[in-house]
A and B are shown apart, each in its own frame.
Chain A
Amino acid sequence: GQQLNQSPQSMFIQEGEDVSMNCTSSSIFNTWLWYKQDPGEGPVLLIALYKAGELTSNGRLTAQFGITRKDSFLNISASIPSDVGIYFCAGQRTGTASKLTFGTGTRLQVTL
């Protein structure tokens, strides 16, 4: 089955730095979602995007739904230690019912 291409695979950054990650697909999605997974936990929804070009913020997080509907971006500003975790994008198409297609994840490490 299809997996979304997510990059980078991992990042090591210093506290206070900004972070950018992206997700690309060969096909169109109608909804883009960004999840964060802490060690030993299930994914938690951070941001949901429903419209091409949409830019949505949630605190220090900002995500964008690409104009082509084949990509999405997540930015984290002024990173802090609790940002550590794995970030997953997920796409959903209208008419495919429940099916979320997940990216391969970006593992974020924050050093003091």
Chain B
Amino acid sequence: NAGVTQTPKFQVLKTGQSMTLQCAQDMNHNSMYWYRQDPGMGLRLIYYSASEGTTDKGEVPNGYNVSRLNKREFSLRLESAAPSQTSVYFCASSEVVGETQYFGPGTRLLVL
């Protein structure tokens, strides 16, 4: 039982490149979330998916898209990376919205 897993762990991109961050959970949770964490700040919600087939914007959605591929997987896509998107990205899941969220280990992204 791995909990929440994220790939890749590290990534370096050039400005304008695209990439997809992957997240999977094996806890049969309905809800999944993407956060970014920047130095000196708490985690900020980018997008979330309350249940399979639904996605909603969080606090900082600009420049990102998401796909809830199935109940287990929730991906985050950067279509045209910008240096301002250099951050650590965390995926989380919860049984339902409003319940305790469990976090993955994070993806460290550097955009040059």
Contacts and interface: CB of A to CB of B under 8 A. Distances in A.
Contact of A102 (B43, B104, B106): B43
B42 A88 contact: yes
Majority secondary structure, A binding face: strand
Contact of B42 (A41, A48, A98, A105): A105
**Which of B42, B90, B101, B104 is packed against the most chain A CB atoms within 10 Å?**
B42
B107 to A, nearest CB: 10
Interface residues of A, number: 25
Interface residues of B, number: 27
Contacts of A103: 42
Interface string A37-64: 0001111110010000000000000000
B98 A45 contact: no
Given A1-B59, A42-B4, A42-B90, A102 B42 contact: yes
A98 B105 contact: no
Contacts of B97: 97-98
A3 B90 contact: no
A90 interface: yes
Interface of A: 1, 3-4, 6, 33, 35, 40-45, 48, 88, 90, 92, 97-105
Given A42-B105, A42-B106, 15 more contacts: A1-B59, A1-B60, A3-B42, A35-B103, A42-B103, A44-B103, A88-B43, A98-B33, A99-B45, A100-B43, A100-B101, A101-B42, A102-B42, A102-B43, A105-B42
